[in-house]
Amino acid sequence: MSTFEIGTRLETQRGARTGRPLGRTGVVHTPHGDIRTPAFVPVGTKATVKTVLPELVADLGAQAVLANAYHLYLQPGADVVDEAGGLSVFMNWPGPTYTDSGGFQVLSLGSGFKKVLTAEYANKGAGRADVSTAKADRERLAQVDDDGVWFRSHLNGSKHRFTPEVSMGIQHQLGADIMFAFDELTTLLNSRGYQVESVERTRRWAERCLAEHRRLTEARVGKPYQQLWGVIQGAQYEDLRRKAAHDLGGMEIDGQRFDGFGLGGALEKERLGAIVGWMTEELPDEAPRHLLGISEPDDLFAAIEAGADTFDCVNPSRVARNGAIYSEDGRFNVTRAQFTRDFHAVCPDCECYTCTHYSRAYLHHLFKANEGLAATLATIHNEYFTVHLVDDIRASIESGTYDEFKKETLNRFYAGGWGRR
């Protein structure tokens, strides 16, 4: 059986070269169950979605979770997770799991440029004023060469080495259903010349990942097959994005091909749909595509139209811990004084556990009292909102009501101008 089955095609956007519809529904098959796509995948960085029990993540409707190879390598160690029976057993999560390669964290946390790497996606040019300060004030803790990356742990400064083979070894031990090839993360601040070098380096690393994946799959007899997805880089350059997608899409080493693809790297928000489309046009139609690091409603619609199938992002849980709540009418901060005596449900139209049991006033109180339950309840709601938004997009594609649903959803969410960066 194929690892991915295509369902309903979305006619809204067609490839400029192929003429075929880019958006679609589908099903990703894994040993721990199917993922109906499009789907949002909550991030459980250290084998936990912060502040929320895995059982509640399942209850809120998530089909899969994504954990991080870098963090689990440093703590508790991939060997510990392997001995426990793999990621699903270790964190008591019954469904499919993803692990990323660790490349993003090695080069962001390890480089001292985390703010630049994360901020520039949200707003073109954001964070650029911090670059000179970062260079002056901090030693660059990650050093890239053609073989791999030396980096220092953000926990204690200890020195470590990641190569494609090391990343594959870690991810095989973690045992996720879907894992990603080791790639070099670049930012929009890098020159075109460096982007060209990096795309070629990532291509060579992809070949090594395929070879090592095949070797480890054959060596770890009795283990369920883990899908390996290649990661496409190329920043904002169409020719580099298309070349990278074409190269990895057709890559085969000793009979091993990529089972799917990650659409990675820094993306200019205002061109997100176009950039995703450049890649999906060049990739095999029968392979699933995962867009790393987005969760805002307008980005999700744009990416789905352009052919992305699954998504992950830390943002729903991260902003929840600061009191930011997503609703159909935009985002609001429940810590504001106006909610002190607001005894309505957090979001009256929402059916999540938080909104069916608690009021805005209670959540406001928890945040003001610095109670840990505040983050738990807010995170449950934000993850539910994002998971179900993508579920509803999928349902609208299947029912033929996508255009109407998109217009209604975005007009309502951004009516007050929130989020239009």
CA angle 1, 258, 3 (to 5 degrees): 20
- DSSP strands (E only) in 255-411: 260-263, 289-292, 310-313, 324-327, 330-333
Q: Two tokens at 265?
A: 């790297």
Q: Which of 130, 147, 312, 349 is catalytic?
A: 312
Cβ pair 244, 202 in contact under 8 A: yes
DSSP for residue 281: H
- Give the angle 261-277-148 at the CA atoms, nearest 5°: 40
Return the SS3 of 300: helix
281 token code pair: 């046009």
Distances (CA, A) of 184 to 134, 219, 288: 20, 27, 21
Q: Say if CB 48 and CB 82 are below 8 A apart.
A: no
Could you give the CA distance from residue 190 to residue 132 in angstroms, rounded to a whole number?
14
Q: Which of 370, 371, 374 is nearest to 358 (CA)?
A: 374
* Residue of 59, 79, 100, 145 with catalytic role: 100
**How far apart are the C-alpha atoms of 2 and 320, rounded to whole Å?**
37
* Residue 421 to residue 417: CA distance in whole angstroms: 9
Is residue 349 part of the annotated active site? The answer reads no
Torsion (CA) 258, 264, 268, 269 in degrees, nearest 10: 90
DSSP bridge partners of 29: 34
299 counts as catalytic: no
| Catalytic site positions | 100, 312
